Chains A and B, each alone.
Chain A
Amino acid sequence: MFDFLIDGFGVALTPLNLGLAFLGALLGTLFGALPGIGPINGIAILMPLAYTLGLPAESALIMLAGIYTGAEYGGRMSSILLNVPGDAGAVMTTLDGHPLAKKGLAGPALGLSAVSSFVGATIAILGLTLFAPLLARTAVLFGPAEFFALMVFAFSSMSVMMGKDPVKTAIGAVLGVLIATVGVDSGTGVMRFTFDMPELYDGIDFVVMIIGLFAISEILLMLEHANRKDGDSELPPLGRVFVGMKEIMLCKWTMLRSGLLGFIIGVLPGTGASVAGAVSYTTEKRLSDRDGTFGKGDWRGLAAPEAANNASAAGSFVPMLTLGIPGSGTTAVLLGALMLYNITPGPMMFSENPEVAGGLIASLYIGNIVLLALNLPLAGLFARVLTIPRWVLIPAIAILSFVGVYQLHSDLTAIYLMLIIGIFGYLLRKLGFSLAPVILGYVLGGLMEENLRRALAISGGDTSILWQSGISLGLWIAAVALLVLPWLMGRIKAKYVSRAS
């Protein structure tokens, strides 16, 4: 059953892939540590360069996955030291991490958060190893109708869980799916929304899309943040990065619980590190905050979100590898990256591309150990990254984006398109949209239409095929329940409260 893992270690332990896992972990930690540049930006900026190096699919994925998991480690640094979350997953880390740093415990806080990141990630990687092959075996039974229902479920789960405004999340996803319809229709060869521009015949390029959406809009957003002070601008004294057995023992159940919770949240399609961090923090607060110390520098309040966000990163690989449904915005980007290699992840991946699935999972084990080893002794060095001024950072992002897109096509149309998408992304973010649904819609849109049309071609146009099987019917019911239940619960609660008063 675990043959894929043994083969995977064979792939991951080659010198090239070992080096790339190390490089990815290092770069990811740096990107995570820089405020504003999270895992998606890091991957968006570095992905074109991975292609330039001509890496095979599994090697590119190992490096990109290293950036992802590394960024979840790195995101905690500016949370703890500057009270500015390094990425969305580390928002809750500020609550207890920064007070600890203010008490002069910055070093131990960095140490404990590295350990809890490691514990959370380890739990989730073990879960991925056990769970993914099982799920893949079930998913082999999926036909086009079941896949279509699954994607509907993924979008409805995302609307409820992601972002503050479900309507905007849904609109973002629809916009993403619409962008995916641009280009030649694979079913009939008809041009859709190409407006006679040859550059659009192949659709909107994945790299252009994610660099525009994430990197360019980030440049514009950073200009605003530059004028606003949201955190402390001076690094507190770090001290020795060290954590005692006492703190680890105090947090052991917190780490285990949050790691497990983070893994489950990561597996759910459409929910990512930010949800995992928030849910685990509130759970832990409810369970163990007896003296009201949470929010004032409680070790457990620091350990919970860090274990959970790292666990959710590994957990989100489960649906991506087994169903081809990304568990988070970042895995959506990784999925798109694989599709550029003509590999469509799904239930067959463990049998058809075992070197990719197994190699990736094995590299996560290795990367996690590398990350712990890097993050304990070198935390002080990484923390220095926080002092890089924006006037160095922004031009660097700009030239990396330009060169990344230019070297793919050597033409300027792609660069103009990237700028337009960047403005679009900036406006969306200003209007209170999260970009993850857009990228999920864009990545899944093509597959969604393909499966819908394939299902209806099988049935000769009879739409009842879409909910005929038990699996698809179950998924439809789950999708509707997810959309209706929170609303219904709110209703019942309101009634109860009004009756009580």
Chain B
Amino acid sequence: MSLFDNRAADRGLAIALIGLAAFIASQALSLEVPFSYDPVGPRAFPIGLAILLSILSLVLLIRPGENGEWPSPWVAVKLLAVLGLLLLYALLFQRLGYLISSGLVIAALARLFSASWLKAVITGVLMAIGSYWLFTMGLGITLPGGSWFG
């Protein structure tokens, strides 16, 4: 079962893109240009692109094409979980520090990609320590130590 009909997805995209083109054009028109010797200025190029984009989007609206397969609801939930994990990783990266946040996220990701709990935890621990060693010792990258620990 797919979440969207293929043609509907393309039509929705076309409408969104026309909206984007209108937004770009209005933003470009509102640019305040100081005196300049440049006969074109910063507005013309984005406006030209917005016009081109809206023409192309109209073609897409009239003749929607093939799409890839959309994920089933169950896969969509997993996708959101992966995205949530990556976001959580970003949030925790500086607070918990590289070692702990990476270990947790690696284990969770491994579990989401259907490793057993044991394998996931082992992967998390080994990969976090191994990569920390590689990045800091091998490549001289400074990684966050964790602000929550002072």
Residues of chain A at the chain B interface (Cβ within 8 Å): 49, 52-53, 164-165, 167-168, 170-171, 174-175, 177-178, 181, 185, 187-190, 192-193, 216, 219-220, 222-224, 226-227, 389-392, 394-396, 398-399, 402-403, 406-407, 410, 412, 415-416, 419, 422-423, 429-432, 449, 452-453, 456-457, 460-461
A423–B82 CA distance with the chains assembled, in angstroms: 11
Name A432's contact: one of B67, B87, B111, B128 (CB within 8 Å).
B67
User: A396's closest neighbor in chain B, by CB?
Assistant: B127
Q: How far is the CB of B148 from chain A (nearest CB, A)?
A: 15
8 residue pairs of the A-B complex, CB under 8 angstroms, read A171-B53, A175-B53, A178-B49, A190-B32, A192-B28, A391-B119, A419-B83, A432-B10
Residues of A near B34 (CB, < 8 A) are 188-190
Pair B46/A178 contact, Cβ less than 8 Å: yes
On whether A170 and B123 interact (CB within 8 A), knowing A399-B106, A403-B141, A419-B83, the answer reads no
Pair B59/A167 contact, Cβ less than 8 Å: yes
A185–B33 CA distance with the chains assembled, in angstroms: 11
Name B131's contact: one of A216, A224, A227, A399 (CB within 8 Å).
A399
A452–B45 CA distance with the chains assembled, in angstroms: 9
Pair B49/A457 contact, Cβ less than 8 Å: no
Which residues of chain B (25-70) have a CB below 8 Å from chain A? Answer: 27-28, 31-34, 36-42, 45-46, 49, 52-53, 56-57, 59-60, 63, 65-68, 70
Residues of B near A190 (CB, < 8 A) are 31-34, 42
Q: How far is the CB of A51 from chain B (nearest CB, A)?
A: 10
Q: How far is the CB of B73 from chain A (nearest CB, A)?
A: 12
What interface size band does chain B fall in? 35 or more
On whether A431 and B110 interact (CB within 8 A), knowing A391-B115, A452-B45, the answer reads no
Q: Is the interface of B mostly helix, strand, loop or mixed?
A: helix
A165–B10 CA distance with the chains assembled, in angstroms: 12
Residues of chain B at the chain A interface (Cβ within 8 Å): 9-10, 13, 17, 24, 27-28, 31-34, 36-42, 45-46, 49, 52-53, 56-57, 59-60, 63, 65-68, 70-71, 75, 78-79, 82-83, 86-87, 89-90, 93-94, 98, 102, 105-106, 109-115, 119-120, 123-124, 127-128, 131, 135, 139-143
Pair A223/B82 contact, Cβ less than 8 Å: yes
A-B pairs with CB below 8 Å: how many?
172
Pair B45/A430 contact, Cβ less than 8 Å: no
On whether A178 and B24 interact (CB within 8 A), knowing A392-B123, A395-B105, the answer reads yes
Q: How far is the CB of B109 from chain A (nearest CB, A)?
A: 4
A432–B6 CA distance with the chains assembled, in angstroms: 10
Pair A390/B66 contact, Cβ less than 8 Å: no
Pair B83/A391 contact, Cβ less than 8 Å: no
A56–B140 CA distance with the chains assembled, in angstroms: 17
On whether A167 and B93 interact (CB within 8 A), knowing A190-B31, A432-B68, A453-B40, the answer reads no
Residues of A near B102 (CB, < 8 A) are 399
Pair A187/B42 contact, Cβ less than 8 Å: yes
Pair B109/A394 contact, Cβ less than 8 Å: yes
Residues of A near B111 (CB, < 8 A) are 391
User: B110's closest neighbor in chain A, by CB?
Assistant: A391
Pair A188/B38 contact, Cβ less than 8 Å: yes
Q: How far is the CB of A34 from chain B (nearest CB, A)?
A: 14
